[in-house]
Amino acid sequence: MSRKPIPAQMGDRSRAEVNFDKPHLLPRLFGEYDSNILALEERLGVYIHARGQRVQIEGSAEAVAHAREVLQELHSRVIRGEDIDAGLIDAVIAMSSEPMLTGIVRADNGNTPPPIMIRTRRKTIIPRSVAQIDYMRALVSNDMIFALGPAGTGKTYLAVAQAVAQLITGSVQRLILSRPAVEAGEKLGFLPGDMKEKVDPYLRPLYDALHDCLPVEQVERRIASGEIEIAPIAFMRGRTLADAFVILDEAQNTTPMQMKMFLTRFGQNSRMVICGDPKQTDLPGGPAASGLNDAVAKLEGIEGIAVSRFSSADVVRHPIVGRIVEAYEGTDG
């Protein structure tokens, strides 16, 4: 790979060279047609040239240092078997700007797994944003966690992954996934089919997360055996959820009474994660009528209960999702 660099402003020119000791992995690091390198050049304002296992970076001193750190981090992730895509590149760039990155997201030698991770049957998941670091810590150290923020920040996905990991290791006996069955204003009875056929479309995001962490046949077997239960929140009434990892998704669409009912299902040796976007409730009364907002206001600060907050900067889907969230939040009120 060799592209002629575009001249930079005089007096602010720096150059650094990185030598990688596993050249056979460089095609995965660079991406098809050097797409990953091009993305780094565009995002960081540098020019990157590779010959063999030597990579040269040119640009301003600050940008070169930043690009070198990001490139080394991406290389360490390739060594760990991760696939490099635009979302991961953006996440590593964002996290590399944070002083708390060192020693948390990556190990010092770059060849050992980071200390914060979730292992499932299908993949090993590591944080892609600073907020995810705190959230993943909360998932293993608190009994009840509220995860608040916009779509695409990994709230539900990481909760499902942690739940699957604990189910695999036997830390819990059941995994219970729930969410409001319908959006405000719709009636479940208007939909065709039996109860399962009626509620499944609303629970599809939970199935998708499960299938990303477990083989399909295992998901089906565990659902059939009752180890994994996916049901609307109304089905939780009157139960005690012991020895279980319980997740409530789209919690902003619960009423205060529904939320109280759900939270008081908490049983021995259980963990409960409540995910939602407080700004996106579909209830007729708006955010003020949301059981999620009401619960956080009442319960934040109580021992054993953690609140993890995400923003548009933590979106780990396509970069445009973060910009969409920012645009809508900018017009609120």
Looking at residue 234, its pLDDT comes to 84
One domain for residues 205 and 125? yes
Full domain range(s) for residue 26: 14-96
DSSP 286: G
Token readout for 9 is 């402003």
One domain for residues 313 and 216? yes
One domain for residues 160 and 51? no
- Which residues, at least 6 apart from 87, have a Cβ–Cβ distance to it below 8 Å? 128, 316, 317, 318, 319
Question: Which pLDDT tens digits describe the chain residue by residue (333 residues)?
Answer: 545 444 444 446 788 888 888 878 888 888 888 888 888 888 888 899 888 788 889 988 888 888 888 888 888 888 877 788 877 787 777 766 544 333 333 334 444 444 577 877 777 777 877 788 889 989 988 999 999 998 888 899 999 999 998 898 888 999 999 988 655 444 555 556 655 666 667 677 788 888 888 888 999 999 999 999 988 888 888 888 999 999 999 999 999 999 999 999 999 999 999 999 988 887 877 777 899 999 999 999 999 999 999 988 777 766 676 677 678 766 554
66 lies in a domain? yes
One domain for residues 207 and 74? no
Cα(154)–Cα(262) distance, rounded to whole angstroms?
A: 22
Check if the beta carbon of residue 68 is closer than 8 Å to that of residue 15. Answer: no
217 lies in a domain? yes
One domain for residues 75 and 141? no
Cα(36)–Cα(33) distance, rounded to whole angstroms?
A: 8
Residue 197 burial (10 A CB sphere; 0-12, 13-18, 19+)? exposed
Looking at residue 238, its pLDDT comes to 86
Looking at residue 142, its pLDDT comes to 92
One domain for residues 324 and 238? yes
Residue 122 burial (10 A CB sphere; 0-12, 13-18, 19+)? middle
What is the pTM (predicted TM-score) of this model?
A: 0.67
Looking at residue 106, its pLDDT comes to 39
Looking at residue 23, its pLDDT comes to 79
One domain for residues 210 and 301? yes
Looking at residue 311, its pLDDT comes to 86
Q: What are phi and psi of 325, to 5 degrees?
A: -60, -45
One domain for residues 92 and 123? no
4 lies in a domain? no
Please measure the distance between the N-terminal and C-terminal CA atoms of the chain and give it in whole angstroms. Answer: 50
322 lies in a domain? yes
What Å distances lie between residue 284 and 73, 185, 260, 288, CA to CA? 46, 8, 19, 10
Total number of domains in the chain: 2
One domain for residues 65 and 194? no
Check if the beta carbon of residue 58 is closer than 8 Å to that of residue 67. Answer: no
182 lies in a domain? yes
One domain for residues 283 and 326? yes
Looking at residue 333, its pLDDT comes to 46
191 lies in a domain? yes
CATH number of the domain bearing residue 173: 3.40.50.300
Domain boundary among 96, 128, 153: 96
155 lies in a domain? yes
One domain for residues 133 and 32? no
One domain for residues 230 and 147? yes
Residue 4 three-state SS: coil
Domain boundary among 65, 96, 127: 96
CATH number of the domain bearing residue 57: 3.30.1370.10
Looking at residue 191, its pLDDT comes to 55
Calculate ∠ Cα 146-151-155, nearest 5°: 35
Looking at residue 108, its pLDDT comes to 40
103 lies in a domain? no
